[in-house]
Amino acid sequence: MKSIVCTEPGNLIIEERSDPTPPKGWVTLKMKRIGLCGTDFHIFKGLHPFLEYPRVMGHELSGEILETPKNSRFSVGDRVIINPYLSCGNCVSCKKNKSNCCVNLKVLGVHTDGGMCEFLCLPERAIYSARGLTLTEAAMVEFLSIGAHAVSRGQLLAGSRILVIGAGPIGLGVALFASFEEASAVAILDVNMERVVFAENLSDAFSGFVVDDDVVGGFVVDVVIFIFVVLNIFGIRTFNSLNLAMTVISSGGFLPDNELSVILISNIQIIVLSFLMLISFMAFSLFVVACIKGLNFKLGNLSDLLLFICVSRVLSDTTIVEL
């Protein structure tokens, strides 16, 4: 079969590979549609931190059944949606029905070869019927489901006012599903004016704002949903988004619960923590020097204790926000 392989950052080739042989209980699929995600561009540019080359990319997928195991719920020729997050089904998280927390989780096109090929074998639990959808629509289910999940976690009520921070494909999905829940107002915020204009043209239900706009004055919302790819705990853009959310959220409003915890540490606390860690490092350095000179000092344990006390004291004043 033909496969598109990223052999190294910036280099793609078409490679002939053997057709895959399905393990027992797995389904063989013919790839029909492949979406391009930001993750694929990161892989191509060499910016993905959890990837080994060469790699066959592609995780926004739809396909057609070529071969099924015995007693399968699918038939040859069925069109299907593909879940690219492959859990092991056996670890402690999977046994608790939390497959998203699987300790052996592999993502198609990232940790294992994905769908930029002619044929693919997958466990039956990773595919869903695409009945009623076109193949193109089926390939969009993966990224749209993120927005649907965010809105579900947001506990929206009819008439809720929603602010979505981030007007990329995921953010637009959030806004669309929020409008389906009969939200009275859906506002989308982004730093990119073109994305904001596109969002406003997508639906009359959306109001778009760029970060420079005075969106705070007279604007209060019930739910804020953040869309960002990487959290840099000291990143200005992330903190600006959080600060904005805290400003416009109404009394009794809601920041959707997620698996991500953000530790908010003030600039003064950062300076204090850095200073105290420096003192601890100096104490440890004295211990090393003392060992070299043959002196029987116990400053190593002292430095560990000092660091523990310092970090505990600083973090005791921090605010933990569940997003």
Nearest CA to 190 out of 163, 216, 160 is that of: 163
CA separation, residue 241 to residues 47, 161, 198, 258, 293 (Å): 24, 17, 21, 16, 52
Q: Are residues 7 and 133 in the same domain?
A: yes
What confidence score (pLDDT) does residue 206 get? 82
Q: Are residues 219 and 122 in the same domain?
A: no
Task: Give the count of domains, the chain.
Answer: 3
Residues spanned by the domain of 272: 264-322
Rounded CA separation 40/43 (Å)? 5
Q: Are residues 46 and 12 in the same domain?
A: yes
Q: Last residue of some domain: 121, 139, 157? A: 139
Rounded CA separation 47/37 (Å)? 14
For residue 213, the domain's CATH number is 3.40.50.720
Cα–Cα–Cα angle for 124, 130, 135, rounded to 5 degrees: 115
Please list the helix, strand and coil fractions of the chain in percent, rounded to the nearest 5, in that order: 35, 25, 40
Q: Are 158 and 175 in contact (CB under 8 A)?
A: no
Q: Are residues 296 and 192 in the same domain?
A: no
What confidence score (pLDDT) does residue 237 get? 46
Rounded CA separation 280/300 (Å)? 9
**In this structure, what are the phi and psi dihedrals at residue 263, rounded to the nearest 5 degrees?**
-95, 115
Q: Are 255 and 227 in contact (CB under 8 A)?
A: no
What b/e readout covers 13-42, taking b as 16+ CB neighbours within 10 angstroms?
Answer: eeeeeeebebeeebbbbebbbbbebebbeb
What confidence score (pLDDT) does residue 191 get? 82
Rounded CA separation 270/281 (Å)? 16
Q: Are residues 22 and 129 in the same domain?
A: yes
Q: Are residues 251 and 185 in the same domain?
A: yes
Q: Are residues 177 and 98 in the same domain?
A: no
Q: Last residue of some domain: 257, 282, 297? A: 257
Q: Are residues 166 and 283 in the same domain?
A: no
Low-confidence ranges of the chain (pLDDT < 50): 216-217, 228-238, 250-252, 257-269, 295-300, 305, 307-323
Q: Last residue of some domain: 221, 239, 257? A: 257
What confidence score (pLDDT) does residue 251 get? 46
Tokens of 75: 């038939």
Q: Are residues 15 and 115 in the same domain?
A: yes
For residue 65, the domain's CATH number is 3.90.180.10
Alpha helical stretches, state H, 46-157: 92-95, 135-139, 141-153
Tokens of 175: 């806004």
Tokens of 304: 């560990």
What confidence score (pLDDT) does residue 256 get? 56
Q: Are residues 53 and 32 in the same domain?
A: yes
What confidence score (pLDDT) does residue 74 get? 96
Q: Are residues 39 and 158 in the same domain?
A: no
CA separation, residue 300 to residues 142, 310, 314 (Å): 51, 15, 21
Q: Are residues 45 and 134 in the same domain?
A: yes
Instruction: Residue count of the chain, please give it.
Output: 323
